[in-house]
Amino acid sequence: MFTSKCANCTDTVGDGPECSICKKRFHFACGGITERGFARLGSGRASWMCTNCRDAPLTPMETSCIETAAANTPGSSRFSSGLPLEIRAVSTPKHGASSEDKQNFLELLQEVSSKITNIQTEITMIRVIQQDIQQVKLDIAEMNNTLNTKLDKLNNRVDNIESRVSTVEGLVSTIEGLSTEVEDLKMKVKTVLEEGHKNEQWVRRSNIQINGIPHKSGENLIKIIKTLAERSGYPLNAENDIDFITRVAVKNDEDARRSKPIILKMQSRYKKDDFLAALRKLRNIKACDLGFTGMTGRIYFNDHLSQRNKQIFQQAKLKAKEKNYTFCWVKNCTIMVRKTEKSPVLHITSEESLKKIL
C-alpha cells in the first residue's frame, strides 16, 4: 500500500484523499471529508480539492477565464449571468493574436475548467451531505419511534404498578378494617369473660369456704357447722338458714395432701356475711377443738372465691409479702390489701389492679 505524510498533521497516511490541485495527501479527517463521503464522489474523486486549494481566492484572470469558458458552454447563460459585469467582458483572443497570448489563454482555460470541475465536485459533496442529512433524519425518526415504543411500555408498566398499588391500598384498608373488628371482638370477648367471672363469683356470693377440717368417713357436716356456730356465738337455724353443705374436690397435688374444703351455702347473703364474721372471730380454733383427736391444724373461714379470684388472691398475697404489706384478706368476695393499719385499703379486682401494690 502506498504511504506518505499527511499534509496537515504530518503523520503517515495510506488510503487517504489526494488533492487534485496541490497533489498533497491527507487523512480523511484532516482533509475535511469523511471516508464515506469521499467514496460517494465516484469519478469526482480525481478532481477533489483540499480545503486550502478550495478556499483560495480566484485571481482576476481566473475569473475572466471562467466567464469566457462558461459563455462558450451550451446552457451557460444561467451560470454567467451571476458574474460581475467586468468578468463577463472578457472574451477569447482576437484574430491575429500572438502565440503567447493564445498559450496563456489555453492555460487560463484549463485552470477555469479545473475550477469548474472543483465546483462540480463540491456540488457532489453537497449532495452527499444532503444524503447524510437525510440519513440522519431517518435515524432520528427511527430513534424517536424506538423511544416512543419504550415510553409506551414504560407507561404501561407505570399503569400496572399504579393498579397494583391501588389494590394494595385496598387490601391495607381492608386489613385496617379487619384489625378494628378484631380489636372490637377482643373487647367484646374480654367483656364477656369479665361478665363470666363476675357471674361465677356472683353465684358464690352466699357461700362460705371452710379449710382445715379433716375428712372422716360417715361424717355429719351439718353437725360440724352447728358446732362451729355454737362456738362462734352465731344463732344458726340449720333448717332455715342453710341451703346446702358439701365438700369439693381439689385441683392440684398440693391441695390433694390437704383435707377437701367444706362449702357452706346460706339461704341469703346477709346471713352468710354475719355467720362468716362470727366464724372469723375464732382465730385460733383447731381441728382438735371439734373432736378430731391429735389434729392441731388451724381451721380457716373465707368467702368462696371463683377459680380466677383464687389465683388473683394468691398473687396478691405474694406481692403483698414482697412489698412488706401487713394485711391481705377477702371481704364480701373482694380481695383487699393494706400496708399498715393506718394505710388506705386497696381493692384488687384483676391482675391489672395488682399494680396498685407498690
Sketch the domain layout of the chain as residue ranges. Answer: 4-148, 204-304, 305-358
Predicted pLDDT at 158: 92
Whether CATH 3.30.70.1820 fits 204-304? yes
pLDDT at 85 over 50: no
pLDDT at residue 68 tops 60: no
Picking from 93, 94, 87, the residue whose alpha carbon sits closest to that of residue 67 is 87
pLDDT in tens, 88-123: 334 455 455 566 666 667 667 767 777 787 787 888
Q: Which residue has the higher pLDDT, 259 or 276?
A: 276
The grid coordinates listed for 119 are 465546483
d(CA 108, CA 206): 144
Tens digits of residue pLDDT in 31-53: 888 888 888 888 888 888 888 88
Average pLDDT along the chain: 82
In tens, the pLDDT along 229-254 reads 999 999 999 899 999 999 987 765 45
Helix (H) and strand (E) counts in the chain: 12, 9
Q: Sort 70 into a burial class: Cβ within 10 Å, 0-12 / 13-18 / 19+.
A: buried
**Contact of 264 with 278, CB cutoff 8 Å:** no
Residue 329: per-residue pLDDT: 86
- Taking only the tens place, the pLDDT of each residue in 295-335 is 888 999 999 888 888 889 989 999 999 999 999 888 888 88
Of residues 70 and 18, the one with the higher pLDDT is 18
- First and final C-alpha spacing in the chain: 106
